[in-house]
Amino acid sequence: MAVGLEAPERLLPVEGVTLAAFPAGIKYSERNDLLLLSLIEGTTVAGVFTSNKFCAAPVHIARKHLESGHIRALLINSGNANAGTGTLGHENALDCCSVTADMLGINENQVLPFSTGVIGEQLPMERVLAGIAELRKTENECDWVSAAKAIMTTDTVAKGVSETVDIDGTLITITGIAKGSGMICPDMATMLSYVVTDANISTPALQQILIRGTDASFNRITVDSDTSTNDALILAATGASPLPEISDVESTAAMEFSVALQNVLIKLATSVIRDAEGATKFVTVKATDGKSESDCEAIAYSVAHSPLVKTALFASDPNWGRILMAVGKAPVEELNVDIIDVQINGVQLVKQGQPADGYTEESGKLAFSEPEIEITICLNAGSSSYHVWTSDLSSEYVSINADYRS
């Protein structure tokens, strides 16, 4: 059950984008599992993709097509990752682009393909291609909430966010959806997410703005330290609003847009953690007052990735020695453990590397029992800081992943 998260009731439409979804029966029965986002001519598109070297066929193709520019369609299927599928998988992904392009009257390199689901199985192409043919019939009948549902796999709720921002008297809309619950670890990307806006932004500026927003959001989440083969984050700007083109990323208009976009991306990223597989806790890990940001990052992730810390959180067991263990094993060259302070939800666990005066097992138990937890590791060695969002590790996580293919 998601921690403090409910599916959106409504998401704002974005001028220049049409949606279509269809139940192709790729893996799931009686639910949409194929989604098409059609973009008006002139839309600029930016993207970031997984760093996993065993990345899926659609990732290879999407990267290549994105370089050619003038993207007009995004095609997403759930239920099958089309990863680890060799030459045939690559050809199947290209066929999906070709059939979609023929249907829309565009070139195949103007289609970006995306897949999510089981790795190592070929797409059921007969069902996929039949589903693509049906998508044109359902255009404009699909709303953004339905679109968010169509890309779900082990997610328990649909994830979506809309924001508006006034830039120079023009109201700009940003709407985004995401999927992801497991196999979540940063190093871009961490899931599938599609964000669109009616702003007019040049391609180079859009890419820079997206990278900046990603570093503050999706590149700060982890469920299980596993980076997926299929992750992608796409940002499309249709230019349908009357706002003049944004091309300078340091301009006031660009900065105002960036702040609004970052809000959307953080909400989407944290919704992934709130709906992590089997999660019962939403956890923020902060490393503060470090010598460098890289030191703080390493320590924050060491704690966030630790199975022993995460299982203690699930059990609401104030076994805070596990936090010290995780801090100590972080790949940091110089770490003075005798000056470190540790708190959880404001309860002082450790002061100057020793058990804090006044700490009790009862106060620790209460802090570890909260559904939303903030762990703060103060290094007392400088002025840098870093934070990440993670979840606990429950028996249900094991069950979900043990039974995923059955």
Q: Please identify every residue annotated as catalytic.
A: 190
End-to-end CA separation in angstroms for the chain: 21
Of 175, 179, 201, 200, give the one whose Cα is nearest residue 190. Answer: 179
d(CA 204, CA 46): 8
Neighbours of 146 (CB within 10 A): 18
Tokens of 83: 């990863």
Annotate 25-55 with b (16+ C-beta within 10 A) or e (fewer). Answer: bbbbeeebbbbbbbbeeebbbbbbbbebeeb
Cα angle value 124/129/134 (rounded, 5°)? 130
d(CA 275, CA 287): 24
Element (H, E) at 325: helix 321-328
Phi-psi region of 52 (alpha: psi -120 to 50; beta: other; left: phi over 0): beta
Contacts of 241 (CB under 8 A, 6+ apart): 15, 170, 171, 172, 173, 198, 199, 200
The number of helix segments (H) and strand segments (E) in the chain equals: 11, 15
Of 124, 99, 137, 122, give the one whose Cα is nearest residue 28. Answer: 124
Which segments within 13-69 are labelled E, that is strand? 17-22, 34-39, 44-49
